[in-house]
Amino acid sequence: MALRSSKTISETARDLELNPETLRGWVKKHQKQQEPSADADLTVSERARLKELERRIREVEMENVFVKKCAAYFARDPR
């Protein structure tokens, strides 16, 4: 109803006696479920590899933060 109507989400929510933000959240969730998944065409092994690479990226990002903090610490002027 909210997607097919020419009314705004706020108007539709008012008609249904709903909070507009609640309806907006439902609409976004529905639209996200309707989008084709970016990894829908991946094989099981490709998905596993993707998951492993994403984990490794997070790990390297954390290492970079640590290295930057160490560099800042050791770059301080020793007094």
Shared-domain flag, residues 12 and 31:
yes
Asked if 50 and 28 sit in the same domain, the reply is no
Whether 30 and 52 map to the same domain: the answer is no
3, 26: one domain:
yes
Query: Structural domain of residue 47, as residue ranges?
Result: 43-79
Is residue 4 scored above 80 in pLDDT? no
Q: Are residues 31 and 7 located together in one domain of the fold?
A: yes
H or E stretch at 16: none
Binned at pLDDT 50, 70 and 90, residue 2 comes out as low
pLDDT at 36 over 90: no
Residue 8 shares a structural domain with residue 27: yes
Q: What domain count does the chain have?
A: 2
CA-nearest of 27, 2, 31 to 11 is 2
Sole residue written with tokens 């479920």: 33
Quickly list DSSP for 10-60: HHHHHHTT--HHHHHHHHHHHHHHHSPPTTTT--HHHHHHHHHHHHHHHHH
Per-residue model confidence (pLDDT) at position 33: 83
Of 1 and 67, the structure prediction assigns the larger pLDDT to 67
Mean pLDDT, the chain, as a whole number? 87
| pTM more than 0.75 | no
Check whether residue 47 and residue 79 sit in a common domain: yes
Question: 29 with 61, same domain?
Answer: no
pLDDT at 35: 72
